Copies of this chain bind each other. A is one copy, B any other.
Amino acid sequence: MHPLNTPARHLPTAFLSPQHVAEIVHTRGLPAIFQGLVETLRADFLRWPEFDKSARVASHSAKGVIELMPIADASTYSFKYVNGHPGNTRQGLSTVMAFGVLADVDTGIPLLVSELTLTTALRTAATSVMAAQALARPESRVMALIGNGAQSEFQALAFHYLMGIEEIRLFDVDAAATEKLMRNLQGTSLRLVQCASALEAARGADILTTVTADKALATIVTPDMVTPGMHINGVGGDCPGKTELHPEVLRRGPVFVEYAPQSRVEGDVQQMPADFPVTELWQVLSGAAAGRTSADQVTVFDSVGFALEDYSALRFMRAQALALGMGEPLPLIPALADPKNLFSALGNAVPQRVEGVQALDSAARSVAYSGA
C-alpha cells in the first residue's frame, strides 16, 4: 500500500452488520425488538400519505430477481436491495439476502448502511403481527405455520410474544425444515405440533400463516382449509408468478394489502381481476376502513413486503444502535475541506508531468470521421 498525503476523512455513515443486529437483539431481547418494530411500523403506516411511494424496481433473470425498494418522506430516504433466488438453498445460500440504506433528504448524505437479511425477517414478522392485531380475533391462540424455512421462527415468535399464540401447527414439504424449527424453538413455551399436511396443520387454527419460497403459482391454501373466523397471513406469495392462495380463498373474506399498486402485481391478488376489491392496511390502522367486523368472518392479509416496512426497520435499528453505541463507521463518502475540490481526495495520486501519453492513447485516438 502506498500511503497518501491526504488524511482519510469521510462523512459519518454508520454500518450495521448481521452481527451488530444480533447484538442489538441480544441486548434488547427479542420480544422488545418485535414490540418496538410493531410500534415503529404502526406510527409510520399512520402517516402513509406523507410518503413518496413507488412499486419496487425489479430485475428478473432465469434464476431469480434482484429488487430495489426506495421510499422517502420529507426528511428521510431509504431503499432496500433484496434478491429472491429459490434455487440458492441447493448451493448452501439463502433464498433472500438484503441490505439497506437510510439517507438525509436535505443533503443526500447516506446515514446508515445496514444488513437487512436478519432485519427483513424481523420486520416481516412484525408487519404480520401488526396486521393480525387489526384483523385476527384477539382470542386467537393457535396458528398454522406452513413453510418452515428461513422466516418461520420469526413469525412463530412474533405471534407468540405479541398475539398470545400458544400453539403452532407446522407443515413443510421438507420435514428437515420443520425439525430445524422445532429445535430452534424448543426452549420456548410454544406448543409445537408437527403435521403431515397443510390441511392437517390448518385444523383448529385461528390464524393460518404461509411462508413458502417456491417461485411458482402454487396453491398452498385451498378452500377446504379455511374455517369461519380464520385470519390468513399470506407472506410467501410476493412476486409475479409466485402465489400461495387458491383464488377461492381470496374470495372468502375481505383482502387487505400493503400498497395496492404493488400487491396487484406481486401479491396473491395477481390472480384476480384488476377490480378485485382490496383494502390497504394503513386505512384499517387509521380507522378509515373496516378491518374484521365479526368473529366468524375470514380475513386475508396478502402481504408482499413494502418499502415503508424497511424504512421503519432501518430507522428502528439505527435508533437502537445509536442508543447502545453499536455499529461502526463506514468510510463511504469523502469529506472534503472544499466541496468543489473533489480532486483533492485523490491525494498525491495525481501524476505530475506525464511522459508517453501519446503512446498510451495512439490507438484510442485513431478514430476518424465515420460514415454509418
B interface footprint on A322-358 (CB within 8 Å = 1, 0 otherwise)? 0000100011111010111111111111111110011
Query: Considering the complex, which residues of chain A in the window 75-121 have a beta carbon less than 8 Å from any beta carbon of chain B?
Result: 77, 79, 81, 83-85, 88-89, 91-95, 97, 99, 101, 103, 105-110, 113, 115, 117-118, 121
Does B66 lie within 8 Å of A93, measured CB to CB?
Answer: no
Does B161 lie within 8 Å of A334, measured CB to CB?
Answer: no
- What would be 27 A-B contacts, judged by CB atoms less than 8 Å apart? A11-B97, A19-B331, A25-B349, A26-B347, A30-B351, A57-B57, A57-B68, A61-B105, A64-B106, A66-B103, A84-B108, A85-B106, A93-B339, A97-B108, A115-B331, A117-B334, A138-B366, A150-B339, A151-B342, A162-B365, A177-B340, A184-B350, A187-B353, A188-B354, A189-B354, A287-B370, A291-B369
The interface residues of chain B lying within 8 Å CB-to-CB of A105 are 59, 61, 63, 66
| Tally of contact residues, A, Cβ under 8 A | 133
Q: Which among B52, B180, B326 is the interface contact of A1 at CB below 8 angstroms?
A: B326
Query: Considering the complex, which residues of chain A in the window 118-152 have a beta carbon less than 8 Å from any beta carbon of chain B?
Result: 118, 121, 133-134, 138, 148-152
Does B293 lie within 8 Å of A134, measured CB to CB?
Answer: no
- Give complex CA distance A352, B189 in Å: 8
- Give complex CA distance A31, B154 in Å: 53
Q: How many copies does the complex hold?
A: 2
- Give complex CA distance A294, B163 in Å: 76
The interface residues of chain B lying within 8 Å CB-to-CB of A17 are 8, 10, 331-332
Q: What's the least CB distance linking A31 to chain B, in Å? A: 6
Please list the residues of chain A having a beta carbon within 8 angstroms of any beta carbon in chain B: 1-2, 4, 6, 8, 10-11, 15, 17-19, 22-23, 25-27, 29-32, 35, 38-39, 52, 54, 57, 59, 61, 63-64, 66, 68, 70, 72, 74, 77, 79, 81, 83-85, 88-89, 91-95, 97, 99, 101, 103, 105-110, 113, 115, 117-118, 121, 133-134, 138, 148-154, 157, 160-164, 174, 177, 180, 184, 187-189, 284, 287-295, 326, 330-334, 336, 338-354, 357-358, 360-361, 364-372
Does A180 lie within 8 Å of B81, measured CB to CB?
Answer: no
Q: What's the least CB distance linking A114 to chain B, in Å? A: 9
Does A31 lie within 8 Å of B93, measured CB to CB?
Answer: no
Does B134 lie within 8 Å of A107, measured CB to CB?
Answer: no
- Give complex CA distance A10, B162 in Å: 31
- Which B residue's beta carbon lies closest to that of A343? B153
Q: A23-B2, A332-B99, A369-B291 are in contact. Are A184 and B133 (CB under 8 A)?
A: no
The interface residues of chain B lying within 8 Å CB-to-CB of A30 are 346, 349-351, 354
- Give complex CA distance A352, B61 in Å: 41
- Which B residue's beta carbon lies closest to that of A19? B8
- Which B residue's beta carbon lies closest to that of A187? B352
Does B63 lie within 8 Å of A370, measured CB to CB?
Answer: no
- Give complex CA distance A183, B32 in Å: 56
Does A26 lie within 8 Å of B349, measured CB to CB?
Answer: yes
Chain B CB within 10 Å, residue with most, of A31, A105, A154, A352: A105
Q: Which among B6, B160, B288 is the interface contact of A372 at CB below 8 angstroms?
A: B288
- Give complex CA distance A369, B22 in Å: 36
